[in-house]
A and B are shown apart, each in its own frame.
Chain A
Amino acid sequence: MNKVTQRLLGPLTLLSLVGTVFLGLWVTPKATMHDGGGDLVRMLYVHPALAWVALYVSFGTTTIASALYLWKRTRSATMDRVAYCAMEVSVLFIALTLVTGSIWGRPTWGVWWAWDARLTSTAILLVLALGYLALRRANDDPETRARRSAVYGILVALNVPIIHFAVTWWKSLHQNATVLTVSGKVSVHGSMLWTLLLSFIAFTLWYFWLLRARYRLEVRSDDARQSHLAAAVAERQREGA
Chain B
Amino acid sequence: MIRVAWLVARKDLRIELRSKVLLWQVLPFGALALLLCGLALGPADAGHSRAAPGLFYLVTLFVALLMINRSQAVEQASGTAESVATLGMDPAGVFLGKTVALAIELWVAAGLLLAGTVVVLHTSLVGTVHALPSVFVTLGAMACAGTLYGALTAGDDGPATLLPILALPAFAPLLVAGERSFSAALHGGALWEWWVIDLVALAGYVAIGVLLYGVLEE
A and B touch in the complex (CB under 8 A): yes
Q: Distance (Å) between the CB of A225 and the closest chain B CB?
A: 18
**Chain B neighbourhood of A161, CB < 8 A:** 200
A residues near B153, Cβ cutoff 8 Å? 135, 138
Least Cβ distance of A194 to chain B in Å? 36
Q: Is B88 an interface residue (CB 8 A)?
A: no
Interface of B is mostly: helix
Which residues on the A side are within 8 Å of B197 (C-beta)? 162
Among A135, A159, A169, which residue has its beta carbon within 8 angstroms of that of B152?
A135
Which residues, 113 to 166 on A, are CB-close (under 8 Å) to B? 121, 124-125, 127-128, 130-131, 134-135, 138-139, 147-148, 150-152, 154-156, 158-159, 161-162
Taking the closest CB of chain A, its distance from the CB of B213, in whole angstroms, is 9
Please state if B205 and A158 are interface contacts (CB–CB under 8 Å). Answer: yes
Contact count A vs B, C-beta below 8 Å: 70
Question: What's the least CB distance linking B149 to chain A, in Å?
Answer: 8
**Taking A130-B165, A138-B158 as contacts, is the C-beta distance between A154 and B173 under 8 angstroms?**
no
A138-B157 contact given A128-B170, A131-B165, A162-B173, CB 8 Å threshold: yes
Which of A128, A139, A152, A162 gathers the greatest number of chain B CB atoms within 10 Å? Answer: A162
B199: chain A residues within 8 A (beta carbon)? none
What A residues does B215 contact at CB under 8 A?
A: 70, 147, 150-151
* B-side interface residues, number (CB < 8 Å): 28
Interface residue B162 (Cβ < 8 Å from any Cβ of A): yes
The complex places the Cα of A54 from the Cα of B65 at a distance, in Å, of 29
Measured CA separation A161–B204 after assembly (Å): 11
Instruction: Please report the C-alpha to C-alpha distance between residue A162 and residue B158 in the assembled complex, in whole angstroms.
Output: 30
A130 and B152 alpha carbons, distance in the complex (Å): 15
B172 at the interface (CB under 8 A from A): yes
Q: Which residues of A contact B201 (CB under 8 A)?
A: 158, 162
- A138 and B169 contacting across the interface, CB-CB below 8 Å: no
A161 CA to B173 CA in the complex, in Å? Answer: 11
Which residues on the A side are within 8 Å of B172 (C-beta)? 124
* Chain B residues within CB distance 8 Å of chain A: 145, 148-149, 152-153, 156-159, 162, 165-166, 168-170, 172-173, 193, 197, 200-201, 204-205, 208, 212, 215-216, 218
Query: Which 4 A-B residue pairs are closest in the complex by CB-CB distance?
Result: A138-B156, A127-B169, A131-B166, A128-B169
- Chain A contact residues, CB within 8 Å of chain B: 70, 121, 124-125, 127-128, 130-131, 134-135, 138-139, 147-148, 150-152, 154-156, 158-159, 161-162, 169
7 contacts between A and B (CB under 8 A): A121-B173, A127-B168, A130-B165, A134-B165, A134-B166, A155-B208, A159-B169
